[in-house]
Structure 1
Amino acid sequence: MSYRILIADDHPLMRAALCQAVADSLPGSETMQASDFSTVETALAHDDAVDCVLLDLHMPGMNGLIGLMLLRNEHPAIPVIVVSAMEDAATIRRAMQYGASGFVPKSAPVDRLGAAIRAVIEGQIWQPDTDEADTAEDVDVADRIAGLTPQQLRVLAGIAEGKLNKQIAYEMGVVETTVKAHVTVILRRLGVVSRTQAAILAGRLALHATEVETAGS
């Protein structure tokens, strides 16, 4: 059976390798490519026939797990498999908490990627075995953030990056008062009283380049 797969990674060589892996393990499947999060959103907004997204967490515009949550909120019918160089149990656990249907390390064999895609499209969950269990705090944070709307998640991403309300408003194409209203709701739902506290909480969802380099070393 052939599938339509969107491959999202900012490294051309990795996208090429993933395209080849899909071609080898799922003959006849069609691949699309995106090098940043905005391209992913544009592609999905104009194409509802995508069967699965292979998503790198460290990509321009992603803001780590916030980008993953945005995709799941806006396109709940399209499963997302995280394909990452970060293979630690905490990253895997968080990715699954925030909506991924599968997690495949970039070091995994080609046949494992194909098996993961087939399983996820059929409605199954695919992830490496980990010995770590979700902490009560992790579950609580996941539940609180999961209640935010896509627009509120975008505002939270801006807060995490240290942007002012006027900057966030400009990038979202809304007036500043709208952003202020979102901030008020975000603080209340996250159970914090300041932007700084919200930024710290959101920072737990961000995956930084130094972490990727460490994981890949």
Structure 2
Amino acid sequence: MQFVIADDHPLFRDALRRVVASHYPDAELLEADSTSSLQALLTAHDTPDLLLLDLHMPGASGFSGLVHVRAHYPSLPVIVVSGNEEPGVMRRAIAHGASGYIPKSTSLADMAAAIQQVLDGDVWLPPSARAAQSVALAPDEADIARRVRDLTPQQFRVLMMLADGLLNKQIAYELGVSEATIKAHMTAILKKLGASNRTQAVVAAARLQLDPSMRIVDVVEED
């Protein structure tokens, strides 16, 4: 079996590694500490058996990383691992395609049980979320999730960098491509998101935040 652990905190990656290794000693473990390294891992390997995904890795925000992974690897079961313990957030993760949600405060024994349950084809949530009402995604959140799923991996990276307030030339430098290439990506992103400018694109992507009321960075419009 092959498991991917995607979390930018080394100590928590180590905890997950120990859980997996103790129950699946013959499994191959792959690790990523950012959205870009996760994309590289998934591109380089056949579809793994399970992805353990932190919602707050560099290169993604809120549910955007989950939405994008589910779009490009629909047969890959994903368990979200997060410090957020709001039942509504857990339910939204399931609505966005996760097969389970493990709060980081969960005991190692319960983590192991959650992993096995998802591998068996079931959905796992902690008791606090099981007792909560099912959450239907708001129409605008469901719509932007559908649009984000259409982005290529490189377009997704550009959008996340844009949401961080980077200019085209800064994004081009970080990705090692020309500014003209970034402008071409930006045109495609705006079209796929149904946005007419950079600010609208960032506002649309913010609908996938865990807290949609969070402050949105100022976006500089460029020609």
Identical residues among aligned pairs (%): 46
Q: Report the alpha carbon displacement of residue 116 of structure 1 after superposing the two structures with TM.
A: 2.6
Q: Report the alpha carbon displacement of residue 4 of structure 1 after superposing the two structures with TM.
A: 2.4
Distance (Å, rounded) in 1 between the aligned partners of 2:37 and 2:117? 26
1:203 alignment counterpart:
206
TM-score normalised per structure 1 = 0.78
Correspondences of 1:1-217 after superposition (within 5 Å):
3-48=1-46, 50-127=48-125, 128-129=129-130, 130-131=132-133, 133-134=135-136, 135-206=138-209
Q: Report the alpha carbon displacement of residue 105 of structure 1 after superposing the two structures with TM.
A: 1.2
SS at match of 1:92: helix
SS at match of 1:108: coil
2:218 alignment counterpart:
none
Kept after mapping to 2: 8 A contact 1:51/1:79: yes
Segments of structure 2 that go 5 or more residues without pairing to the other structure are 215-223
Which AA in structure 2 matches 1:146?
Answer: R
Distance 1:45 1:102, change over 3 A: same
SS at match of 1:7: strand
Cα RMSD (Å) of the superposition? 2.8
What is the aligned residue count? 207
Q: Report the alpha carbon displacement of residue 179 of structure 1 after superposing the two structures with TM.
A: 2.6
Which AA in structure 2 matches 1:55?
Answer: L
Kept after mapping to 2: 8 A contact 1:26/1:114: no
Name the stretch that deviates more: 13-22 or 45-54: 45-54
Distance (Å, rounded) in 2 between the aligned partners of 1:199 and 1:22? 37
Q: Report the alpha carbon displacement of residue 53 of structure 1 after superposing the two structures with TM.
A: 1.4
Distance 1:96 1:168, change over 3 A: farther
Q: Report the alpha carbon displacement of residue 83 of structure 1 after superposing the two structures with TM.
A: 0.8
Distance (Å, rounded) in 2 between the aligned partners of 1:184 and 1:90? 34
SS at match of 1:187: helix
Distance (Å, rounded) in 2 between the aligned partners of 1:172 and 1:72? 23
Kept after mapping to 2: 8 A contact 1:160/1:199: yes
Q: Alpha-carbon deviations, 1:135-178, whole Å to 9, x = none?
A: 23322232232233323222211221111122223333443333
